[in-house]
Structure 1
């Protein structure tokens, strides 16, 4: 089993904007005043293309699929929420909270991957849960320790506990559920996605422990990370607001490892935190300011890791 991969699926946006349907519980989204929708799309596209180029320059195999204008999918740039790819050739398809995000699921993407030689054996489809108003948003909700077969999940309106347990049974993971909070107008409200407050790499984990208000749950999460010999690098709630939890470790050329993040995330890290990360791998960062502000997601959300086997 591998924890990190060299192949990433990314969706190039055609009509990116702040999604009014997700902003009801994604408190990281902002309206950028005085910017027309065209300008927001233009800036997001610039950020996207520059990010893809940086990933390709270090040898990451980026499969770029263009979004289509046929559907209104302002968040298509975040594919990791509707799909996950697994080493045994399984694909997970996930129920999405926002109705316009359900339109992001596209079968032609599977065909494209198969054309590139990837093997898809089985599709595990949870999307019918949408009819019951039950959601689990892919690797936004599920933080997978693929090697130690553990799944971490911050429960929220977008991550249902029963469905999380069902996923763990289907894919053979040990569930580690907890609730993670952020302060919004002096209230403690659930963070919408696990991958905003936590990132899991091969040898280390970055996590905002302060956001897990329940001491027992916090201890439980720490116990699992330490059991699996992960170095735990803690970040603050302020750093979570700059997307310092939204990072992904990838493989570049010659099996070189990189932790990928936005420039905002990098800039908010302390020298000590950077040193601890760089003991394990290099850091790659790219400016995603428009995407972060309007989309309320960052580098990790933009990358769907492809672990599918390849045809021999």
Structure 2
């Protein structure tokens, strides 16, 4: 469905620039198989490794990813924080609890699982950003963060096409329609296109960003899991301004939908993705993607297997002014 343009929004949408050269990442200090999120995340798989082995592997993958992005000219702010008794096994996926805007605003979002709500640490985020030379942000809360009745997991569930002021969202437990509209109105997007999905298991996809990615001039989408009438609407909207790459449900399982276009300090375009996604794309699909940026495959196999999220989930875009 397409929601109408709000007559008044608190913030005009000023993110016409789609890609950013700055990101926030959070190390996997408490990383392990999260039984709370596994209830609706079919991408998670437990491995026969101890928690300490898992964390060691995950931390190595994280550090390599930070260094790789920096070596390509991307500014990476690492939001480190002290270990506490209340574990945050999925903290490595910060894009689910906040998003940023060039106006200096940070939006905080309510998450479905209790142990994920502990990840919301606005003070630590603000301090990390300030230490990287960014202006002190203004925080806005969407819904109830501490004891929510409805959930909206930020850029996990909302795929933002900043160039066209449009948000795409697959409805699910983690993507409430009313909160979605509240955010779209507040942030000043012109249009929201929401739709239902059904995987071969019969369940909806848990996060839109595992089935779909939107760059400046391209989109990757597993459109076969969208109901037919809504599928045409979504594809028609994307095809107006994008090269659309359709992926299969099997490719989605290798996180081909979980890619992110970035730029470096020289303004050159990059497309970050996991090594498994890179290997699962066809040669033809990679050829189309290369028109829109240098492909940067990153091995995060431990994190994506156990966490059920991949490279895009590990990156929170930073649009804040310096």
Tell me the CA shift for residue 121 of structure 1: 4.8
1:29 and 1:166 map into 2 onto residues whose CA distance is 30
Question: 1:110 and 1:129, CA in 2 relative to 1: closer, same or farther beyond 3 A?
Answer: closer
Equivalent in the alignment of 2:9: none
2:65 and 2:148 map into 1 onto residues whose CA distance is 37
Tell me the CA shift for residue 102 of structure 1: 0.6
Of 249, 267, 279, the match for 1:237? 249
Summarize the alignment of residues 125-204 of structure 1 with structure 2, pairs less than 5 Å apart.
125-128=141-144, 131-173=147-189, 174-184=191-201, 188-204=202-218
Tell me the CA shift for residue 245 of structure 1: 0.3
Matched position secondary structure for 2:199? strand
2:142 and 2:310 map into 1 onto residues whose CA distance is 25
Deviations 1:232-283 (A, max 9, x none): 0111100000000000001123111110000000000100001111122110
- Report the TM-score, using the length of structure 2 for normalisation: 0.92
Of 101, 117, 123, the match for 2:133? 117
Deviations 1:51-95 (A, max 9, x none): 111111111101112243113100000000000001111111000
1:132 and 1:46 map into 2 onto residues whose CA distance is 34
2:199 and 2:82 map into 1 onto residues whose CA distance is 34
Equivalent in the alignment of 1:49: 63
Unaligned runs of 5+ in 1: none
Unaligned runs of 5+ in 2: 1-15
1:120 and 1:14 map into 2 onto residues whose CA distance is 26
Matched position secondary structure for 1:63? strand
Asked if 1:75 corresponds to 2:90, the answer is: yes
1:83 and 1:98 map into 2 onto residues whose CA distance is 15
Equivalent in the alignment of 1:28: 43
CA contact (8 A) 2:110 2:148 kept: no
Equivalent in the alignment of 2:235: 222
2:233 and 2:254 map into 1 onto residues whose CA distance is 26
Deviations 1:144-173 (A, max 9, x none): 111211000000010001111111111112
1:121 and 1:263 map into 2 onto residues whose CA distance is 34
Matched position secondary structure for 1:254? coil
Question: 1:73 and 1:216, CA in 2 relative to 1: closer, same or farther beyond 3 A?
Answer: same
Q: Which moved more, 1:128-137 or 1:285-294?
A: 128-137
Matched position secondary structure for 1:29? coil
Deviations 1:23-77 (A, max 9, x none): 00001001102x1000000000111111111111111101112243113100000
Tell me the CA shift for residue 179 of structure 1: 1.4
- Report the TM-score, using the length of structure 1 for normalisation: 0.95
2:56 and 2:192 map into 1 onto residues whose CA distance is 40
CA contact (8 A) 1:97 1:130 kept: no
CA contact (8 A) 1:80 1:139 kept: yes
Aligned residues: CA RMSD: 1.2
Question: 1:132 and 1:105, CA in 2 relative to 1: closer, same or farther beyond 3 A?
Answer: closer
Question: 1:130 and 1:150, CA in 2 relative to 1: closer, same or farther beyond 3 A?
Answer: farther
